Every structure is written in structure tokens, then in C-alpha cells.
Amino acid sequence: MSKRYTWIMLIALFVAAVAAPVNMYKVPPVMPVLMDVFGLDLTSANLLMSVFAVAGLALAIPAGLIVQRIGPKRSGLIAIASVIVGSALGALSSGTAMLLASRAGSDLIEAGSAQVQRTVSVVSPPSPTSAPMT
């Protein structure tokens, strides 16, 4: 792989690594608005934030096995796709159930976000690996 491809991959992974936490923590700043629009009580609104932790606990071991089986490149792509699809579903949701499902569905990002450094080392040839990793 070329050095240019390595840097393009690094930039794409960096953008994804920044966008994923922004997606994960987008609820707290807009929680009062969500409570008004969807008519949520405080408990239901807090569930929108904590569904990531619950889904992470439930999916940690199966996701690790899947990542090990399909590799870091594919798992990263699946993780990025799940964030995009989950965010789109959340933006288009008209009810609490769909919003909650979109938040739980985009939790697959946890499986791929830990693979960023490994993916850079896999897609980089041995000589320029140290440049993107520093």
C-alpha cells in the first residue's frame, strides 16, 4: 500500500474516532429538548444516555469474537456504518421506542472504535507505520 493511502486511511480513522464519541454523548446537551418533544420523564430520558452502557455490557464478548473473526478493517467499517445508520434513524425517529432502538443499534461502534490503532498498523506498510502512529 502506498504512503498516500496510509495517510488517507489515518485521516478517515481519525474523523471516525472523533465522530463516534460525539455521537455517543449527544444526548445530555439536548436532553431537556428531548424530554419536551417526546414527553419523557427523567427516568426515560436518562435511559437514552445509559443504553450505551447496557448494550456495551451485553455485546462486549460477542463483539470481540466477531472483530477477531472478521478483522479490524471490516469491523471498523461495520462500526462506522452502524453509527451512520443509528444517527440517521435517531434523527428520523418519531417516537421514544425508535429513538431508543437507534441509540442501542449504534452501540456497535464500541466494537470498532478500539480497533483504530490496530487498523492503522494493519493498513500501513512497515516502514511508514511509525509516522502515522506518532
Positive/negative CA dihedral, 6, 11, 12, 16: positive
d(CA 49, CA 122): 33
Picking from 4, 2, 17, 5, the residue whose alpha carbon sits closest to that of residue 76 is 17
Indicate the domain borders of the chain: 3-133
Q: 10 Å Cβ neighbour count for 11? A: 11
Phi-psi region of 84 (alpha: psi -120 to 50; beta: other; left: phi over 0): alpha
Q: 10 Å Cβ neighbour count for 131? A: 12
Prediction pTM value: 0.72
Q: pLDDT at position 36, please?
A: 93
Q: pLDDT at position 33, please?
A: 92
Q: pLDDT at position 32, please?
A: 93
d(CA 112, CA 17): 9
Residue 83's contacts (CB-CB under 8 Å, 6 or more residues apart) are 16, 19, 20, 23, 106, 108, 109
Q: pLDDT tens, position by position, for the chain (134 residues)?
A: 567 777 887 788 788 878 877 888 888 898 999 899 989 999 988 888 888 777 777 777 877 787 788 877 787 777 778 888 888 888 898 888 888 888 877 765 555 455 555 665 665 556 655 555 55
